[in-house]
Amino acid sequence: MSKLSNLFGKISEINSRYREPRIEMSGAVRKTLLVLRVYLLALVALMIYKFVAIVTQG
Amino acid sequence: MIIRPSATACRKGGTARVWNKDKEMNFFARLYYPLRKAWKAVGLYLVIAGPGIVVMVADNDAGGITTYAATGAKYGYHLIWFLLILIPVAYYVQEMTVRLGAVTKRGHAEAIFDGFGAFWGWFSLIDLLIVDWLTLVTEFVGMTAALAIFGVPPWITVVAVIMLMAVIVLNGRYWTFEKLALLFCALNLVYIPGAFLVHPSVRDILHQGLIPNFAGGFNGQLFFFLMANIGTTIAPWMLFFQQSAVVDKGMLEKDIPWGRFDTLLGSIVTVVVAVFIVIVTGTVLPGIDIDSAAQAATELMKTDRYVGTFLAIGLFDAGLLGAICISLASSWAFGEIFGWAHSLNTKIRQAPWFYTTYFLMLITSGLIVLIPNAPLVLITLFVQVIAVTLLPAALVFLILLLNDRTTMGERRNTLTQNLIGGFIVASIIVLSTLYGFSVLFPNLFK
């Protein structure tokens, strides 16, 4: 149990350490990251669709 | 006996014999220093060499060998020119990890956390873990299939591989690991004598292979093969592995030119090996549909026992090398983020979590292969799809990090590097995405 709480503690520490991105968030960087998010969301949606299709088809 | 000219003889012009001797001495003296310089350069390269060659040759893993074998069997020598184009593609992408690692002294996972924050960091780390684990399963599939040709049961292969990898990694020195890995890289060259054994027509290779052409016209199936070849050339774990290896090796900014040379040499070797695999299957198995490298080896055994044996040995070696590098890529990444000791220069007591992650990845993926009726084909297909979710992100982060003036200083990307790198990265993203789609929807390009 203590090991698990240690792990969560470590994750919180990592999250706080890297809370702020160090790269300067210029307009181009922001747009690139936005496109990347949209791309990944579309890809994940497609994978879920495919997974559901496989499961429903048996 | 050497007759040295006296000062008087020199002033007066001396005898012809003395001068000739002197000229000869000058010639050897002149030769001695460049040779010594070249020898020192070779020595220095051998010290620096490693990450580039290892990552590139390991890229010819079990999946890669299958792709090249299938390409040769399907299209003969006609796509060799396309493989040669992949040399600069692989070089430009991996070269950026050398610079980033040597300048920041951070692995790729830590660089992403630091540069883009915790969200993108966790996304990359967890995605890397999944991709690496699935890829490791495919490496074990390749290794067990290769040794099954010689009658070795899968469980013996899995146990032997894990023990061998423990010996390679647990010696407590990065240097030893790297040199052993280079030995396995050398074994990857087994396809070259294999190609000579099948007596291919050099004229056909030059005519069909080196002039860009699309055999049978540009259709969906050809496009699928082109995408598969690109997909096997650049894998997400390669970025993480090489950058972490550069850091673990302790490369400095002044070593970057050697790191570049190492990467270039590695990218040439990996493509040359791929070309020889294509030549082997293109010569012996033309028109045959190949589903796995083990199937190709079995088919080749029927024609030429030695060539089939070479392909099977090469497949095992490829899987082993891939497994070594992929499991290390994950362990390094986790060590960087969780702050554990994460160097091969540490003993198991000094870095328990680093080695635990390494062996946990290895043992669990090896066990999957031993489970009866495990969905191995599904896993093999899903590797490509999951990799598509990580590769674009990792490549985009790489370009952005290489443009960070604060961190990279003079080593940041130039305009030319950005144009070339940007074009390559954009092309890889588009083609690997389409490849991922074609795996999800097999009839998309047919």
Q: Which of B51, B46, B412, B50 is nearest to B239 (CA)?
A: B51
Give residue-wise pLDDT tens across range B275-284.
999 999 889 8
Q: A26: which 2 tokens?
A: 């210029």
B-chain CB neighbours of A40 within 8 Å are: 123, 389, 393
- Chain B nearest-CA distance from A17, in A, is 8
Q: Which of B49, B48, B47, B45 is nearest to B57 (CA)?
A: B49
In the predicted structure, residue B287 carries a pLDDT above the cut 60: yes
Question: CB distance A23–B115 less than 8 Å?
Answer: yes
Give residue-wise pLDDT tens across range B202-211.
898 898 888 8
| Number of C-beta neighbours around residue B299 at 10 A | 18
Question: CB distance B113–A14 less than 8 Å?
Answer: yes
In the predicted structure, residue B28 carries a pLDDT above the cut 80: no
A44 close contact with B: CB closer than 8 A: yes
- Residue B157 confidence (pLDDT): 93
Question: CB distance A50–B400 less than 8 Å?
Answer: no
Query: What DSSP line would sit under B359-388, residue for residue?
Result: HHHHHHHHHHHHSTT--HHHHHHHHHHHHH
Mutate to test the interface with A, among B396, B435, B438 (most CBs of A within 10 A): B396
Question: CB distance B396–A36 less than 8 Å?
Answer: yes
Mutate to test the interface with A, among B104, B340, B403, B425 (most CBs of A within 10 A): B403
- Residue B274 confidence (pLDDT): 92
Burial of B97 (0-12, 13-18, 19+ CB in 10 A): buried
Residue B74 CA to its chain's centroid (Å): 24
Q: Whats the size of chain A, residue-wise?
A: 58
B-chain CB neighbours of A30 within 8 Å are: none
Confidence of residue B415 (pLDDT cuts 50, 70, 90): very high
- Residue B20 confidence (pLDDT): 62
Confidence of residue B263 (pLDDT cuts 50, 70, 90): very high
Over chain B, what is the mean pLDDT?
83
Which member of B117, B118, B393 has the closest CB to residue A36?
B393
What is the average pLDDT across B26-34?
A: 76
> Of the segments A39-43, A53-57, B401-405, which one has the largest average pLDDT value?
B401-405
Which member of B116, B388, B440 has the closest CB to residue A23?
B116
Domain residue extents for chain A? 25-58
B-chain CB neighbours of A32 within 8 Å are: 396, 400
What is the average pLDDT across B125-149?
A: 89
In the predicted structure, residue B11 carries a pLDDT above the cut 60: no
In the predicted structure, residue B409 carries a pLDDT above the cut 90: no
Mutate to test the interface with A, among B110, B338, B390, B418 (most CBs of A within 10 A): B338
- Residue B392 confidence (pLDDT): 82
In the predicted structure, residue B312 carries a pLDDT above the cut 50: yes
Confidence of residue B377 (pLDDT cuts 50, 70, 90): low
Q: B147: which 2 tokens?
A: 């040794």
d(CA B68, CA B52): 21
Residue B419 CB partners (closer than 8 Å, separation 6+): none
- Residue B10 confidence (pLDDT): 47
In the predicted structure, residue B101 carries a pLDDT above the cut 90: yes
What is the average pLDDT across B437-446?
A: 71
Using CA atoms in the order B333, B413, B265, B73, what is the torsion angle rounded to 10 degrees?
80
Q: Considering only CA atoms, give the Rg of chain A.
A: 18
For tokens 């190609």, what's the residue?
Answer: B195
B-chain CB neighbours of A18 within 8 Å are: 113-114, 117-118, 121
| Number of C-beta neighbours around residue B324 at 10 A | 25
- Residue B25 confidence (pLDDT): 63
- Residue B46 confidence (pLDDT): 73
